[in-house]
């Protein structure tokens, strides 16, 4: 089904520029700096394609990091009509909060590490915000691949040990403290560690990437 059949909704993507040595660092022992960078680029392009299949491009914002003027960001913006905004200073929680706060209607935010995300799942998460105060897609390593809120609150993203296996558990504690109704439509997996690469190769042809624009 097309995005129009489901309505258009805000969708933010946290996007790091593909710079060797600064992305997918936990995969560098296996793939090397250049290989990890190419994988990151391919995953980011996949996330953008998934977003474009789920909602209208004018509702999609790439929140850029590392190099806001990277040619890949400009290419994606020019080709698809996406908006570009620079991620603010602060920890991951602050960057998520700011991106959600910039939305003029309830929407969802994703990263680029979860190739298991699909347009129907994005629609399902957006629809969950009709009744729930917040929607998350937990991942197996203890974090989450998507967050959406019906109303934003900075407290949801404070006192979280980002980058650990406690992120989703602590986030559930925050929603309990806020008295929010939480929806988690699915549990997924993402690509962060060397052991994730075997499963990735079985699902998507993303590891071997010819060429690439890393610099």
Per-residue pLDDT tens for 160-197? 999 999 999 999 999 999 999 999 999 999 999 998 99
| CB crowding 72-95: b at 16 or more within 10 Å, else e | bbeebbeeeebeeeebeeeebbeb
In the prediction, which pLDDT does 198 show? 86
User: For the chain, which domains are there?
Assistant: 3-203 (3.90.550.10)
Strands (E), the chain: 11-16, 60-65, 83-86, 107-110, 134-138, 144-149, 182-183
Three-state secondary-structure class, residue 184: coil
Question: Is residue 210's pLDDT more than 60?
Answer: no
In the prediction, which pLDDT does 163 show? 92
Q: Exposed (0-12), middle (13-18) or buried (19+): which is 193, by Cβ within 10 Å?
A: exposed
Q: Which pTM was predicted?
A: 0.91
Three-state secondary-structure class, residue 63: strand
Per-residue pLDDT tens for 23-47? 999 999 999 999 999 999 999 999 9
Provide the pLDDT confidence category of residue 7 given band limits of 50, 70 and 90.
Answer: low
């Amino acid at each position: 089904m097309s995005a129009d059949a489901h309505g258009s909704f805000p969708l933010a993507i946290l996007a790091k520029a593909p710079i060797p040595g600064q992305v997918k660092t936990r995969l560098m022992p296996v793939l090397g700096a250049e290989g990890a960078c190419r994988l990151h680029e391919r995953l980011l392009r996949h996330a953008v394609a998934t977003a474009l299949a789920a909602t209208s491009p004018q509702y999609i914002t790439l929140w850029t990091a590392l190099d806001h003027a990277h040619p890949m960001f400009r290419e994606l913006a020019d080709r698809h009509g996406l908006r570009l905004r620079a991620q603010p200073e602060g920890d991951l929680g602050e960057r998520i909060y700011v991106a959600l706060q910039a939305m003029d209607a309830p929407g969802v935010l994703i990263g680029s590490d979860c190739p298991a995300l699909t347009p129907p799942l994005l629609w399902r998460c957006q629809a969950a915000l009709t009744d729930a105060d917040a929607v998350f897609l937990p991942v197996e390593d203890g974090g989450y691949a998507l967050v959406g809120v019906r109303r934003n609150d900075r407290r949801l993203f404070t006192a979280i040990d980002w980058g650990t296996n406690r992120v989703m558990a602590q986030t559930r504690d925050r929603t309990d403290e806020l008295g929010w109704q939480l929806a988690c439509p699915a549990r997924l997996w993402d690509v962060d560690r060397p052991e994730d690469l075997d499963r990735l190769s079985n699902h998507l042809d993303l590891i071997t990437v010819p060429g690439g624009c890393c610099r």
